[in-house]
Structure formats: C-alpha cells, structure tokens
Amino acid sequence: MSAPAAAAEGARARRLTEWVYRVRELGIVVALAVLIAVTAAIEPRFIETDSLRNLALNASIFAILAVGQTLVIVTRNVDLSVGSVLCLSAYLAGDLLSGNQDLPLPVVFALGIALGAACGLFNGLLVTWGQVPALVVTLGTLYMFRGLAFLWTDGRQVNAETLPDAFLNLGSDSILGVPILVLFALVVLLVTGQWLRDYRAGRELYAIGSNPEGARLAGVRSERRVLTAFVLAGALAGLGGVLFTARFGTVDATAGFGYELTVIAAAVVGGVAIFGGTGSVYGAALGALLLGTITSSLIVLRVEAFWQQAAIGALLLVAIAFDRLVGLRVDAALRRRSARRAG
Amino acid sequence: MQAETATQGTPPAAAPAPPREGATRLRAALGRWEALLIGLIAITLIAGSALSEEFLTADSFTTGSLDLSEVALMALALTLVIVAAEIDLSVASMLALSSALMADLWNRGLPLELIMPICLVAGALCGAFNGFLVTRLGLPSLAVTIGTFALFRGLAYVVIGDESVTDFPATWTDRGFGNFAGTFIPNTIVLFAILAVAFAVVLHATPFGRSIYAIGANQEAAYFAGLRVKRIKLILFTLSGIVAALAGIVISLRNSTAAANVGQGFELTAITAVLLGGVSIFGGRGTILGVILALFLLGAIQKAILLSESISSYWIQIVTGALLVGSVLGPNLARRVSEMRRRHAHQHPLEEGQ
Amino acid sequence: GETQEDQGSSSSSSSSESSGEADPNAEIPKGLKTVSIPKQLGNPYEEFEHSGIDEALEELGGSNRISGPTEASASSQISIINAAVQQKPDAIIIAGNDPGAVAPALKQAAQRDVVVVGMDSDVAPDARSVFVNQVTTQLVGENQVESIGKQIDYKGEIAILSATANATNQNAWIKVMEETLKKPKYKDMKLVKTAYGDDDDQKSFQETQGLIQAYPNLKGIISPTTVGVAAAARYLSTSPQKGKIKLTGLGFPNQMRKFVKNGTVDEFQLWVPKDVGYLAGQAAAALVAGRITGKEGEKFTAGRLGEYTIGANGEIVLGPLTTFNAGNIDDFDF
Amino acid sequence: MIELRDAAKSYGAVRALHDGNLSLRAGEVRGLMGENGAGKSTLVKVLGGVVRRDTGEMLVDGAGVDFHSPHDARDAGIAVIYQEPTLFPDLSVAENVVIGYHPLGAMKRIDRRAMHRQVQGLLDRLGVRLDPERPVRGLSIADQQIVEIAKALSFDARVLIMDEPTAALSGPEVERLFGVVRTLREQGSAVLFISHRLEEVFTICDTVTVMRDGAVVHDAAIADITPDELVRRMVGRELTALFPKQDTKVGEAVLEVHRLTREGVFFDISFEVRAGEIVALAGLVGAGRSEVARAIFGIDRPDAGHAEVAGRRLPPGRPLAAMRAGIGFVPEDRRQQGLVMDLSIARNTSLTRMRSLSRGGLIRSSAENSLAREWAARLQLKFHRLEDSVGTLSGGNQQKVVLAKWLATDPKVLIVDEPTRGIDVGTKAEVHRLMSELAGQGVAVLMISSELPEVLGMADRVLVMHEGRLTGELSRAEADEENVIRLATGQHAEAA
Ligand SMILES: Nc1ncnc2c1ncn2[C@@H]1O[C@H](COP(=O)(O)OP(=O)(O)OP(=O)(O)O)[C@@H](O)[C@H]1O
Ligand SMILES: Nc1ncnc2c1ncn2[C@@H]1O[C@H](COP(=O)(O)OP(=O)(O)OP(=O)(O)O)[C@@H](O)[C@H]1O
Ligand SMILES: [Mg+2]
Ligand SMILES: [Mg+2]
C-alpha cells in the first residue's frame, strides 16, 4: 500500500488505540459527573466543598486498596485477603499508638505497611512457589488472617480516645483544602500508575497477565514479578489499615470485614479485566470513587438505604457489560483493518 | 515410556482384564483426595473426642449438620458450576432473596405451599440471569457474580427491608428444624442426602455430567466435539440458583425466621467446601463424594472447636483457611519433590515441574 | 417489625408457664456453671456486660464461660447455642441476634432443663425464663427524646442514627421515641429520618454526613448505639456544624469523653453495662436455685444491686439511664 | 560459536529429541529440515532455554553452559523466533518487540520515544508498515509473524534461531527477511533457519541439518546435496511408499460448499467432495484453510454462503447439527481442540457417542469400554489402560484417539486438518492407510495439509488457497509440487 495511505491508517490506528486505552477512565468520569450533577440538582448542598471533600475522604482508603488489587489482577491473579490484612495492620497501628502515645508516626506507618507486605509475601509465595491458584490461596488467608486478628485483639478495641490527636488528625485534617487522606491516596495512585506505565517491571505485569506462556518464552521472570505484585498489594492494604485507624479511630477484629468484594468491584468497574492484561490503577481508583459516591448520593437523595446495595451491583454489571461490548467492537475494527491490509 | 513398553506387541483388546478394571474403578472412586479427606476426618474425630466427651454423640451430629445444611445444599450445585470451570459468588445472595420473598409473600397472606414454588422459580430466574450474562455476553463469571452478589442481596432488602418474619406455621418450621422420623438425622440432612445422590448420579453417570467435565477440562475441545457448551453452562447457573433458593427456604423454616440478612458469607464457606473437596478451581476435576467429605470435615472441625472449653472459636476460621490452602499445597509440594528425585535419578524433563 | 410485636404479646402467657412454685429462700448450689453468649465476640460493649456475669458467678462460687460467634448473625449464634447446650451448663445467658431465629435452639435447651436467661437484646419470650433489660424500652425512648429536646429547646428537625436495620432493641426504642414525640411537649420537634449505621464505624460516619447534607435544618441527632454515637460525634467534631447540631445517644464515657470535653457533645446516656451482666448472672442463679421461676411479680435480691421484681413477660429492668456530661463523666471508666 | 552434543529430550512417552548434534559457526546460515514432529522445535526450545535437555551438553564459544530460562539464553546472545506465537495481545506492537528490554531514560523510566524510534526502525528494515502503537490483538497471522521477527532482531544477537518464520509470510516479506538474514551473516552472526520449503533453504542457507524421528540424521553443505536427496533423508524412504492411496470409484457429491465467506479471513469458497474421494485443501499456513473447515463444521458462523451434506443444508454455527448430518472433524490443534487431555482414552473416544451409549439416561460404562476397546484395536492404538488420560499417549496415538472419536460416529464426511502434524513416520503411514480405507468405504474425505508430499500422495483432487481465496483446483494428474506452490503463493496470474 502507498505511504500516505499507511500514514493515515497509522493515525487512525493510533486514535483508535488511544481511545481504547482511555475510554474506560473517561466512561467513569462521565458517570461520576452525571451522578454528582443529578444529585446536586436535587440537593445542592451535595456539591459544597465540605461535602465533596467528604466524598474524596470516603473513597481514598478504598482507592488505595483498589490500586493494590489492580496490581494483582493485572497478572491474572486475585487477592481476596485485603480486608483481613487491612484489619491486622489497622489494629497494629492502633495498638502501638494507644500503648505509646508519642511513638513517631513514620514508625507506625512503616510497621503497618511491613505487616501488610508480610501477609502479601505469604500469599505470593503460596501462589508462585507453591503453585496454588490465587483464588484458593487468598480465600484461605482471608479466613486465616481474620482469625488471627480475632485471636490477637481478643475482644479488645482501640478507641479514638486512646489515640494521639496528631495521628487522628491525619484522618480529618486538610492541607490547602485537600484532606491528608486524599493526598496519601493520590501519591500512591500516581507512583503506582507511573511504575506500571513507565517501568519494565510494571509493563511485565501486563505481559504476564496477557500471555503467561509468552512471557516465559520472552524471558520475563514471571514468578518474581507476581510475587512483587502480591507484596505490593499487601503493603498497600497495610497502608490502608493504618489510615483506617487514623480516620475511624475505633478498630476491632471486624475492621475491613467484607471489603474484598467491594475492592474487586471497584477495580472491575474501573475497567480492570478480571483475567488480567488490561486496566489501569487510575480506572480502579475512579471505580472506588464512583462506588463511594453512589452510596453517599443515595443517602443524600433520601433513597431507602435498602436500594443502595442493589444499585451498586447493577452498576458493576453495567460496567463489565459495557467493557465487553466496547471490547468486541474494537476487536472487530482492528481485525477488519488488518484483513484489508492483508488483502 | 513405561506405558509404551508395557503394551508393546500385546493386542490392546487383551489389555485390561475386567476384574482389574473393577478394582481400578474403585480406586478411581476413592481417589487420593478422598482418601486424604477421610484421613483428616479421622484425625479430627480423634482430636475432637479428646477435647470433649460430648463430641462423639448423635447430638453433635444432629446440631453440627443442621448448622451446615444450607451451605451443604448450595455446595452441591456449586460443585457442578466449578467443575465446568465457572464460579458463582452470588449463591448466598440468592438464598437471601428467596428468604426475603418468602417473608414478603407470607406477610401478604399467601400459603407456604404456594410461596415455596414461587421462591424456587425466583431462584431459577436469578441463576438464569447469571448464566445469561456469562454465556450470551461472554462475561467472566467471577466478575458477573460479584455484581449479582451485591444486586440480589440488595433486592432482598428492597423486598422485605428490615423486617423479619417469624410466625411461620409450626408444622413447617418443625419440618425445618426437626429430625427425620425419630432418628437423630435432621430432615434438612435427609433432603441434602437425596439431592447429593441425585447430583452425584447426574455428574458421574450421565452424558450431561460427562459433558460438564469435558467443558471444564477443555471447553474448546468440548465444543469441537459438538457439545452445547453455552446451554449446559446456562443450565448449571440456573440449577445453582434453584438450589440456593431451596436453601433459602430451608434456612427460613429451620430458624423460623425469614429476613434479608440471612446467610451472609455463606458463599465463601460453600466455595471452601467445594475446593477442599478436591474440585479444581480450573475445572474438569472433582467428585461429589469429595465435597460431601469436605463438608463433613468442616462440620466436625467446627463442632470440635465449639465444644472444647479451651480452644476459642476464632480457631475455626484459622483452621479452615489453613486446610484450604494446605490441601492444595501439600500434593503440589509432594509432586515437586518426587519429580526432583526422579529428575536426579533418570534425568526427567524440567518443564513438567511447572 | 410488626410481626415480632405480635409474637411478643401472643406468647406472653406461655412465658410464665414454667412449672413449680418459687421458694424465695432456696439454697443457691455451689459450683454453678453458666455459658454466656454475646451477639458477637470482640465487641467491647459486650465484653463489659459479660464481665458482669463473671463477677456475679464468682460471687456465688460458680463460674461462667463466654462463647460467641465471630460475626453477629443469628445462624452462627445458633451453632454456639447448640454446642453450649451439649455441654449441659446450669444456665445459658444470651443476647440474641434475632429473636425468632435462635428460639428453636433455645427451646431445646429448656427441654434439657438448662435455664435460659435473655439479656440486653431479647429473644422470643417463650424461649427464655426471664429477660434482663438494661432499661425498659419505654425509658430509653423517653429519656433519649428528652435529652435531645432539652438541648435544642424542643424545636426543630431531628434524626435517628440506628444500628442494623433489624436489631430488636433498636427498633423497639425507635418505636417509643416516635410515640414520645407525639406528646404536646415535643410538638415542635420533627423526626425526619432514621438512618442505619449497621454498628459499623465507617457506615455510621458516612450516614451521619449524609443526614446532615440531606437535611439542612437538622438540629439534633439521636444515636442509641455506642458505635453510632461515637462515629457521629467524630464526624461532627471535624465538621462546621460542630456544636450547632446537637447529638445525644447511648455511648461509653471512655469513647465520648473527648467529645464532651471539646464541646461537640453536651450530654449522652447509658446504663452501666457491667451491672446488666451482673443482674443477669444473679437472675440465672436465682432461677437455677428455684428462688424464682420467672412469673410476674416474683422478687429476688441481686447481690450488690439489691432487690428486683419480675415484670410482665418475665422482664427484669436494671433501671433508668445514667446521663453523662462534663460534670460527671470523669467518675466513670468503661 | 554454539554447539549441541547428544542432546535428548522426551515428553513423557514421546522421545521428541535424541542424538541432537548441531553446531553453528559465526557467519553461517544453517538450515534445519525435517518432517513435522521430527523434533526441530524441540531442539530449538532446548537451545533457547525453554526446555531443559534430559541429557547431553551445550557449548557456547567452547564453554559448557546450562540455560535455566529463556532469560539465560538471551543473555548469552541467542535470539529465538518460536513456532507458536509468543505475543501479548493487550500490549502495543512496540512493547511486544522490546518487552523486558525497553530502552530506559532518566531514572530507569521507559523512554517511549526511543522505543518507538527503535521499533519503527526495525519495521522499516523488514519493510512493513505497521503502527507500533497499535495493540497486537487482531493482527493477522502474517503481521503477528512480522512482530515475532522484529522481536528477535530487537537486540544484536550473535545467534538467531528462527522456527518456521516464513510459514505465514508471502513472497516479498520473505525476500525482505532474507535480506536481513544476509546482513546478519555479513556481521558475523550465526543463523539457524527452519522451514518446510526446500526452495527457501536452498536460497538462503550455507549448510543444512536434517532431522528424522527426533534424531539428527544428516549434516551437509548446501552445495553438496540435492533437493531429492534432502527429501529422501528427511522421509527415510521413497515418497511413494508412504502414501498408499489406492484409487476408488468416486460416487455422488456428499459435501457441497456454496460461496462460503468470512469477513477478513476467507472469501467466496465453493467446492464439493464426493463419496469415496479424498480432496486436499492446500495452501500456506494462514491461507484460511482451517477457518474454512471450522466454518463448514459450524465452529464459526460464516458471513455468507453455506454448506450442504447429501443435499441437506446445514444451519450456520451449529457443530451438533453438522455432526448429526454426518460430518466428522479432526481439528488442526490436537492438544487444544481435538482432545480433552485430562479425560481418559475411553471417555475421549465416547465423547461423541454418549447419548447412544446410555440407557435410561445413564451411561453404561461397559458399552463405553467395549466401544473404546474396539476402536483401539481397529486403529492399533498403543496404550496402557483405557482409564489412562490421553495426555499420557504419544502424539501419534493421541491423533488416533481423535480419529476414533469421529469414526465411532461413522461419518459420511470426514474433515481432517493437518492430520499428521507432529506424528512419527510410522503412525503417519497408518493414518494415511486409514484415510484411504475410509475413502474406499465411500466416505468423503476433505484433507487440509501443509505437507506437500502428503497432499500429492493422498489426494484425488487438490484445491489450493491463497490469502483466503481458492486460487485453483488440480486433478491428481496435474498436481505436482511446482503447480501447488505457485497457486499457494498466488503466482497463478504470472503463470497464465
Ligand atoms: N509439550 C509437548 N508435550 C508432549 N509432546 C510434545 C510436546 N511438544 C512436542 N511434542 C512431541 O515431540 C515431537 C517433536 O515435536 P516438534 O514440535 O519438535 O516437531 P517439529 O519438528 O517442530 O514439527 P513441526 O515441523 O510440525 O514444527 C512430536 O512428536 C510432538 O508430538
Ligand atoms: N489467532 C488469530 N489472530 C488473528 N487472525 C487469525 C488468527 N488465526 C487465524 N487468523 C486469520 O485467519 C487466516 C487463516 O488462518 P488459518 O489458521 O485458518 O490458516 P490455515 O491455512 O489453516 O493455516 P494453518 O495451516 O496454520 O492452519 C489467517 O490468515 C489470519 O488472517
Ligand atoms: Mg516445529
Ligand atoms: Mg489450519
């Protein structure tokens, strides 16, 4: 074919792919905008800075967890144990601080994250070295870690009362109007996003999820990468735990109960393919924000509390169905183009 | 290699003699996994009776099995779904929806005899909905059923809200709670037994069941062999819905309470039972017998820990989780070790280790 | 909901059919063994309560064992009950997760003459001999409404932040609050919404925030659950409405102290949980000994708490709510 | 530069490779020839560190080495193009090429500009126009192959190994590839080139190694060997002996295909197969033959056209219907499509017959076993126990099970796609005998094969496809290597 034609086709291809890669995030942003607009139309106070601030606040911890989950899902694995890991780290942080009010906070964070990472390492080793399917492993550790949390707390609870204000303020204060919690989430999001996008290790996670055997033939050190993904996911769950304590002050053995499905839901709504290879942490974070916003707006709209869960489920289904249809259309388009090229 | 040499020259017709065949079939029926489970059960029974003299009693069996009856029912259908290499996380939510429907219709004054069929139909519809999204839209069942997990539970609340209906006629609630004709075997377990047999026959002895294995082991090959892959999967999800709805009826009668919040977290317990029963999460492998044994094991462990004055009930979760992981990890490691030995002995392919 | 009420009244008679005559000065046997079953392990409030049971039984030379489910669901509580019954204790003391669901299991206990005492959150009356109520439903409702009314000088919109949507005691209290608000004294107060925090800190926090956005003119919030009131207080303390929107409810001094001191909360109320358990323990012992049978009007002395009388439906009431405020809060540590 | 001595590798029962002796010198282009299943790819995988050899040794620059992963091989400067695609559909073309070795910029970040420049350069070198930013998903087989090649050239390897790189390429693309190979040779790299096409080997290679039944059987300078000798050494016996197709009286048309079309894959395909006749569908890999077969059997829905069996029109996209109408389909990919590896021999055999084997809805395992045993005997299957999973069988015997599965339905039409791919010579002959027997019994056989000798030996008629179109039909008399290749590579225009 002639050069200009090719160039044109190239351009089209570029536009198409750009679209494919961005559309999910766009989709959610639009959905969010609509949701907020509608809610605001009925209840203007919903878009007062104070309330928007709260939306971001509520979403930030879930966003952090969703980012971690994305790392794992992208490699064709899954981590069901996030909720339990979060609980462990949350209680650790609370326990340390109520034991010793003036423990330097960085230390607390470090320890909380370390504990999470350790749990992630445990999961990761079982998956890579033990060759046990991630679903089985993390379903098991979901129970084990939770049980350990119960054993450890043994009915005790950490109260805001016993925690240093400096720490609790992390959960409520803002810097230049942006809640500190949200800043945490943003930093995590951007760092991870960059890592996935601009570093070999990150790209290889996608390769592994996209074609495991191919990754092996291409000399990608799959096991090591998958292990990394699990450790990072664990560490982020740990961070989430510490922040959970900072925000809610009260922690007992039931903290983060049932989070796993919500977090996966957030990632999936955000366009992370459950079978790996595609999806971005930004999408996942937006997904978390969208789910949080729905809950809040349904409350504000005085919708019976009972509808909330149903709405979230429906949204999730719409999201994946939408993904699927877009995916099919794009595949068809790409195939037709390459066929033209061949013929 | 051995395979080749073993039959070199011998005409295949003469290969396996009928008696040996029977033996092998028996061995197949009680495969390594089932043996493992039986071993674990034995250990649990011993440990349990050491922990409490109350453990090895008809009572323990009655109450212990009652506690698990709904999970057990759902595990049966779930086994088929997972053998077909799919998954259904929405079972507990369908159970709740069925219970909620039951409550609502009862409040509207319908007779139970009419309500129950309606609940089953509702369950079938929910299951079919899952199946539709998976087979027609080609969505991954994991994602779909996470969605319907929330959707169905939500609908349950929409139907009955915060109410809980507790005034079902004693004749029915007794059926739910009572034992079978003066034995120490709860009615719910009799129901389970009947279904278990039915499911076992379907899965292990019918073309349908055979198709499920083929699909689970290699969907493409199954399709190339002319099997109706999509339709079969649709049926499986529908079945899962019906059984979940049945479990919803059972739990409502057994607890003489119907509400939207029943059975939270049952889905994970049921999946645990299925996987512990030796069903491969990747499909194509596993038996109903294994799942039944796994359920028994879980029940026994739970009972033992509850009855012991010394061990706190937190341990139930820890032990369950450890078992789940260990049951898959153990064989893997064993295989790895033996392979390493073989390779060192007479140079075997690295590849198969992975 | 409705249906529960129905059952309550319908079976009120059956509650007092426990056989035999009460013998007020019967001996309390030594070495009493009881099992106490909280709604959920790891809930500090219940830990306080049940420590009271321990205290009572030690006092009487017996012993109590706490055994509960890891999540607050009826079905898991049933397994616990079944196991407990098998251990043949003298009495089971239970805070029910669901009045109906646990009833069949408890009746089995009664059949093996294990005494069943309900506490804190009642179970079907025909499934237990007596129910130890921290306060009457009536009192909670009235006291709480009065407490918030006082703070907003009986004018304006109020909302309720409850626990789970089908928590027996919560719903009963809310009912009474609605009744109370009908009284002329409270005619200018309007209950605009009942939200459910599921006794989950984050949910309660989010619900509070939702309420305040949804109802601009909200004046006061009643949160008759310790988790809820703490979460609500924490939200208010960091929001511009701090001090403007009044908050009362049932909370722990230890959880609420800082909010009382920093002016987010003027006052809140509660009974002393430990005493609830203590009373339940005493009642159980009295039942086992045969000092009482659970009939209305029977009297017994509950150790340090003095004499109590069994009311209708075999209900024993600890007493009115204690109100905590800046003045007295430092006298309490739980 | 790199040398393999007495390397051996078995997959369970299959001895894929033994007496693997091969050495590559700098500036040498060596051809590796051998029938399907001769062990070429296995040897390649050993060199590439994908598969660990069971015995033997490997030398790089005279020093013994032991690759534990493809990574090690790559670090040793060995680039490999594998036969099966190793691409990542979700990643862009550029990333597929440089995966794991992205050019890095500041702070070890991936330098996308450099990446695209590099990949664009490679693609230009190969003279193809592909957008580096486009995802690989949906690329044609040919384009996928190009990406594979670019991947192998993406770093300056001292040794380049290519397992059938030209299989899916058309004339010009092949020429470009050869250009690249020649420059590499000038730069002193060593190249191992695998292909089934004699003419390619004779154009590009300096030396040639021949494999048969897993062993290296001959090693010569290209100058010292004639095509005929090469083929003889590959096959190990005279061609004609291999393909015992006796002429049978040809009956009515059983399978008729009318203007079958599938967007972007094949177009306007019409032909018929008569009872007792073996029709071969020849063409290069990627020509669309398998897709045609799939469409006939109802695996894929055609966009236009239809197929008829004995005059009855088949509903589109309904394998079961095709089956009931009497079509048997032995698919191309035995492992993925032909068999359920985990299931036993018996169960695989009965998969197509379950209904008729069951009474009262229950499968009678006695009937099942006797069926399996009967066919095992008729096809002379080598097996241990009928309960063993087919995965334990050798490639050839697995193929026999697939055949048994379909013959058990006694089909009117049998479609076989690459029936002898990866099957040892002995079994291969049996399969051929079987096919002509079937034809003798009046079955209409449609055979897709990439192996010319097989096509020429077996077929009564040869249909040739090129890029999704039927480019010609040759009677047994007309059909010779040259004609078929010409049509398959789309040169019929010039010829006419
Ligand atoms: N992963 C595997 N497991 C078991 N057997 C295998 C595997 N891969 C190849 N084989 C067998 O090893 C033998 C050699 O296969 P190989 O792919 O090396 O042949 P080849 O020369 O590359 O054939 P082709 O020309 O078709 O590529 C064949 O009999 C094949 O069936
Ligand atoms: N995985 C795929 N991705 C994209 N296109 C494909 C794929 N498989 C087949 N095609 C398209 O279908 C066409 C024919 O492929 P097919 O495998 O049917 O050819 P074939 O002649 O059967 O070759 P083979 O001998 O390998 O079977 C290819 O040219 C390609 O355009
Ligand atoms: Mg090959
Ligand atoms: Mg083909």
Could you tell me where the beta strands, DSSP code E, fall in D239-360? 253-262, 266-274, 278-283, 304-309, 312-313, 327-330, 358-359
Residue B65 CA, ligand 2 centroid: distance in Å: 55
pLDDT band of B149, cuts 50, 70, 90? very high
Query: What is the DSSP code string of C294-323?
Result: S-TT-EEE-GGG-EEE--GGGEEE--SPEE
Give the integer Cα–Cα distance in Å for D323 and C217: 73
Whether chain B lies against chain C with 3 or more Cβ pairs closer than 8 A is: yes
Give the integer Cα–Cα distance in Å for D348 and B285: 15
Give residue-wise pLDDT tens across range D205-217. Answer: 999 999 988 889 9
Q: Which residues of A touch B277 (CB under 8 A)?
A: none
Output the CA torsion sign for D388, D393, D398, D404: negative
CB pairs under 8 A between A and C: 88
Residue B224 CA, ligand 4 centroid: distance in Å: 15
Answer yes or no: is the C-beta of D34 below 6 A from any ligand 1 atom.
Answer: yes
Write down how long chain D is.
Answer: 496
pLDDT above 60: residue B187: yes
Structure tokens at C304: 């340090």
Cβ–Cβ of A221/D89 closer than 8 Å? no
Give the integer Cα–Cα distance in Å for D257 and D269: 7
Cβ–Cβ of D86/A217 closer than 8 Å? yes
Cβ–Cβ of D140/A339 closer than 8 Å? yes
Cβ–Cβ of C83/B157 closer than 8 Å? no
The residue nearest atom 24 of ligand 2, judged by CA position, is D285
What percent of chain B is predicted at pLDDT more than 70?
Answer: 87
Partner residues linked to C316 by β-bridges? C132
Chains that touch B (3 or more CB pairs under 8 A): A, C, D
Q: What are phi and psi of D163, to 5 degrees?
A: -95, 100
Structure tokens at D370: 């006797």
Give residue-wise pLDDT tens across range C227-261. Answer: 899 999 989 988 888 889 999 999 988 889 889 99
With beta carbons less than 8 A apart as the criterion, state whether D233 and D56 touch. Answer: no
Residue D43 CA, ligand 1 centroid: distance in Å: 10
Instruction: Specify the ligand 2 atom closest to the Cα of D332.
Output: 27
Answer yes or no: is the C-beta of D39 below 6 A from any ligand 1 atom.
Answer: yes
pLDDT above 80: residue B137: yes
Give the integer Cα–Cα distance in Å for D137 and D135: 5
Residue of D nearest to B216 (CA): D340
User: What is the pLDDT at residue D304?
Assistant: 93
Query: What is the DSSP code string of B56-103?
Result: SSHHHHHHHHHHHHHHHHHHHHHHHHHHTT---TTHHHHHHHHHHHHH
Answer yes or no: is the C-beta of D16 below 6 A from any ligand 1 atom.
Answer: yes
Residue D289 CA, ligand 2 centroid: distance in Å: 8
Instruction: Specify the ligand 2 atom closest to the Cα of D284.
Output: 21
Task: Give kind and range of the element (H or E) at residue D56.
Answer: strand D55-60
Q: What residues in chain A have their Cβ under 8 A from chain B's Cβ atoms?
A: 78, 126, 130-133, 135-137, 139-148, 150-151, 154, 258, 261, 264-265, 268, 274-275, 304-314, 316-317, 320-321, 324
User: What is the pLDDT at residue A11?
Assistant: 57
Give residue-wise pLDDT tens across range C32-77. Answer: 999 999 998 877 778 888 999 999 999 999 999 998 888 788 888 9
Structure tokens at A264: 């996966």
User: What is the pLDDT at residue B19?
Assistant: 40
Structure tokens at D269: 């395909």
Average model confidence (pLDDT) for chain B?
A: 86
Q: What are phi and psi of D422, to 5 degrees?
A: 65, 35
With beta carbons less than 8 A apart as the criterion, state whether C75 and C101 touch. Answer: yes
Partner residues linked to C269 by β-bridges? C250, C323
Answer yes or no: is the C-beta of D37 below 6 A from any ligand 1 atom.
Answer: yes
Task: Give kind and range of the element (H or E) at residue D378.
Answer: helix D365-378
Q: Which of D338, D317, D320 is nearest to D418 (CA)?
A: D338
With beta carbons less than 8 A apart as the criterion, state whether A174 and A52 touch. Answer: no
Ligand nearest to C-alpha D167: 2
User: What is the pLDDT at residue C181?
Assistant: 94
Give the integer Cα–Cα distance in Å for B140 and A274: 7
Give the integer Cα–Cα distance in Å for A115 and A110: 9
Residue of A nearest to B261 (CA): A306
Strand order in the sheet with D63-65: D63-65, D55-60, D2-11, D14-24, D215-221, D207-212, D29-34, D190-194, D159-163, D78-81
Partner residues linked to D209 by β-bridges? D32, D219
Residue D16 CA, ligand 1 centroid: distance in Å: 6
pLDDT above 50: residue C24: yes
**What residues have CB less than 8 Å from B315, skipping those under 6 apart?**
A147, A151, B305
Average model confidence (pLDDT) for chain C?
A: 86
With beta carbons less than 8 A apart as the criterion, state whether C125 and C15 touch. Answer: yes
Q: Is the ipTM of this complex over 0.85?
A: no
Task: Give kind and range of the element (H or E) at residue D10.
Answer: strand D2-11
Give residue-wise pLDDT tens across range A93-123. Answer: 999 999 898 899 999 999 999 999 999 999 9
With beta carbons less than 8 A apart as the criterion, state whether B317 and A143 touch. Answer: yes
Q: Which of B4, B217, B352, B351 is nearest to D394 (CA)?
A: B4
Helices (H), D76-111: 93-98
D41: contact with B, CB 8 A cutoff: no
pLDDT above 50: residue D496: no
Rg (CA), chain D: 24
Give residue-wise pLDDT tens across range B64-104. Answer: 888 899 999 999 999 999 999 999 999 999 999 999 999 99
With beta carbons less than 8 A apart as the criterion, state whether C302 and C279 touch. Answer: yes
Q: Which of B51-60, D8-17, D274-283 has the lowest mean pLDDT?
A: D8-17
Q: Which of B184, B156, B187 is nearest to B171 (CA)?
A: B187
Helices (H), chain B: 2-7, 18-29, 32-51, 58-83, 91-107, 112-135, 141-160, 170-177, 187-205, 207-217, 219-224, 229-254, 266-276, 288-307, 314-346
Residue of B nearest to C103 (CA): B255
Partner residues linked to C111 by β-bridges? none
pLDDT band of A9, cuts 50, 70, 90? low
Residue whose token pair is 């509903």: D315
Give the integer Cα–Cα distance in Å for C177 and C222: 10
pLDDT band of B188, cuts 50, 70, 90? very high
Q: Which residues of C touch A54 (CB under 8 A)?
A: 209
Give the integer Cα–Cα distance in Å for D237 and D35: 12
Average pLDDT for A71-81: 96
pLDDT band of A17, cuts 50, 70, 90? low
Pairing between β-strand D304-309 and β-strand D253-262 as defined by DSSP bridges: antiparallel
Chains that touch C (3 or more CB pairs under 8 A): A, B
pLDDT band of B22, cuts 50, 70, 90? very low
Closest Cα in chain D, distance from residue A230 (Å)? 20
Answer yes or no: is the C-beta of D20 below 6 A from any ligand 1 atom.
Answer: no
Residue D470 CA, ligand 4 centroid: distance in Å: 15
Helix (H/G/I), strand (E/B), else coil: B48: helix
Cβ–Cβ of A214/D140 closer than 8 Å? no
Give residue-wise pLDDT tens across range D176-210. Answer: 889 889 988 998 899 999 987 778 899 999 999 99
Helix %, strand %, coil % of chain C (to 5): 45, 20, 35
Residue D196 CA, ligand 1 centroid: distance in Å: 15
Average model confidence (pLDDT) for chain A?
A: 87
User: What is the pLDDT at residue B10?
Assistant: 33
User: What is the pLDDT at residue B18?
Assistant: 38
Q: Which of B281, D50, D101 is nearest to A213 (CA)?
A: D50
pLDDT above 60: residue B26: no
With beta carbons less than 8 A apart as the criterion, state whether D207 and D25 touch. Answer: no
Q: Which residues of A touch D69 (CB under 8 A)?
A: 216, 219, 221
Q: What residues in chain A have their Cβ under 8 A from chain C's Cβ atoms?
A: 43, 45-46, 48, 50-51, 54, 58, 146-147, 150, 153-157, 159-161, 172, 247-250, 252-254, 257, 295-296, 299-302, 305-306
Instruction: Specify the ligand 2 atom closest to the Cα of D417.
Output: 27
Cβ–Cβ of D387/B12 closer than 8 Å? no
Q: Which residues of B touch A78 (CB under 8 A)?
A: 142
Closest Cα in chain D, distance from residue B52 (Å)? 44
With beta carbons less than 8 A apart as the criterion, state whether D432 and D243 touch. Answer: yes
Average pLDDT for A292-296: 85
User: What is the pLDDT at residue A116?
Assistant: 98
HEC string of chain A? CCHHHHHHHHHHHHHHHHHHHHHHHHHHHHHHHHHHHHHHHHCHHHHCHHHHHHHHHHHHHHHHHHHHHHHHHHCCCCCCCHHHHHHHHHHHHHHHHHHCCCCCHHHHHHHHHHHHHHHHHHHHHHHHCCCCCHHHHHHHHHHHHHHHHHHHHCCCCECHHHCCHHHHHHHHCEECCEEHHHHHHHHHHHHHHHHHHHCHHHHHHHHHHHCHHHHHHCCCCHHHHHHHHHHHHHHHHHHHHHHHHHHHCCECCCCCCCHHHHHHHHHHHCCCCCCCCCCCHHHHHHHHHHHHHHHHHHHHCCCCHHHHHHHHHHHHHHHHHHHHHHHHHHHHHHHHHHHHHHC
D86: contact with A, CB 8 A cutoff: yes
pLDDT band of D237, cuts 50, 70, 90? low
Answer yes or no: is the C-beta of D126 below 6 A from any ligand 2 atom.
Answer: no
Give the integer Cα–Cα distance in Å for D407 and B298: 47
Q: What are phi and psi of C158, to 5 degrees?
A: -130, 160
Residue whose token pair is 């000088």: C153
Give residue-wise pLDDT tens across range C139-188. Answer: 899 999 999 999 999 999 999 999 877 677 788 899 999 999 999 999 99
Average pLDDT for A235-252: 93
pLDDT band of B349, cuts 50, 70, 90? very low
Bin C269: left if φ > 0, else alpha if -120 < ψ < 50, else beta. Answer: beta
Facing B54 at nearest CB: one of C69, C86, C171: C86
pLDDT above 90: residue D423: no
Average pLDDT for D126-135: 85
Cβ–Cβ of C79/B67 closer than 8 Å? yes
Cβ–Cβ of B261/C166 closer than 8 Å? yes
D10: contact with B, CB 8 A cutoff: yes
Give the integer Cα–Cα distance in Å for D300 and D122: 35
pLDDT above 90: residue A74: yes
pTM higher than 0.90, yes or no?
Answer: no
Burial class (CB in 10 A: 0-12, 13-18, 19+), D120: middle
Q: Which of A309, A322, A324, A328 to mutate to test the interface with B (most CBs of B within 10 A)?
A: A309
pLDDT band of C5, cuts 50, 70, 90? very low
User: What is the pLDDT at residue D242?
Assistant: 57
Q: Which of B192, B221, B199, B245 is nearest to B82 (CA)?
A: B199
CB pairs under 8 A between A and B: 144
